[in-house]
Amino acid sequence: MSPFPWPVAVLSSVCVGRFFNKTSFEANIVHQKRTTEVFVLKLAAVVWDNAYMNEADFREAHWQKVLYGENYARLLKVKRKYDPEGLLYAVTAVGSEGWEVKSDGRWRKA
């Protein structure tokens, strides 16, 4: 429990690396996955369930819990009330699990 009456950032960290490869898209994916599956997991082991969505890892498997915690169910109800078609979308935004990527790269409702 924080002694402050407002949210306080105790730790701020950004995982970066020089992995932009102009000639190999596959190499870039390998490096992105390593960031998600190795570096971010090690960082998550030392911090509690809290993250800043705009800088979250878009590959995070448990983004609902990590980004929204116990508030997710309530936020999803609000989302469905005001955006019943799910048109307002972001990769880690509330309700985005209702979408999927087709084989041609386009999005569709799941």
pTM of the model as a whole:
0.57
Instruction: Name the strand (E) or helix (H) holding 109.
Output: strand 107-109
Give the number of other Cβ atoms within 10 Å of residue 61's Cβ.
10
- Which of 54, 50, 48 shows the shortest CA–CA distance to 90? 54
Question: Tens place of pLDDT for every residue, the chain, 110 residues?
Answer: 556 566 656 666 666 666 666 777 788 788 888 877 887 777 767 665 555 555 677 778 888 888 888 899 999 999 999 999 888 888 888 998 888 878 787 878 87
Query: Which residue is associated with the tokens 């960290």?
Result: 13
Q: Say how far apart CA 26 and CA 33 lie, in whole Å.
A: 11
* 40 SS3 class: helix
pLDDT of res. 79: 94
